[in-house]
Amino acid sequence: MSIVAIISLCLTAGLFIFSLIFKVAGKLRLTIPIVCLLLFGTVLNKWAGEHKTLAYTILFSLLGLTVLSWIVSLVKAIRCKRNEKHFEDDVAWQIRRAREMGIPLDEIQFNEQGDLLDPMTGVPVIYGEDVQFKDI
């Protein structure tokens, strides 16, 4: 195998690993901290050596913001999952009530808000006596 083929293979493998690192960093929202780290280690090496405290502060601030974005995303995902669970429970309860009212299952329909619609009139079914329904 010639030296050109070995160099080409090493360059291709290196670029593949480099692209894989940035793909994983993008998914983890670590692209900017990694670019900052690469800049401090190469192009801005002299500056980073002279201003170590500032360079570390910038790098750790970026990492802290990344962790904060992870926490916000986790809280949003938990809330979304909780809302989906409540919505599924509500729909299941409405289907049980529709069965009790004698509505065939193939005629059950829901609107965008998740309210059970009366198959004859198309208006939301309200359970209970003397329930006041307000249009929002």
Distance CA 45, CA 52 (A): 10
How far apart CA 31 and CA 28 sit, in angstroms, is: 8
Q: Give pLDDT tens digits for 37-53.
A: 999 999 999 999 999 99
pTM of the model: 0.65
Higher pLDDT, 114 or 28: 28
Segment 56-74 shows an average pLDDT of 96
Residue 110 has pLDDT above 90, yes or no: no
The sign of the torsion formed by the CA atoms of 15, 17, 22, 26 equals: positive
Domain boundaries, the chain: 3-117
**Cβ proximity of 108 and 96 under 8 Å:** no
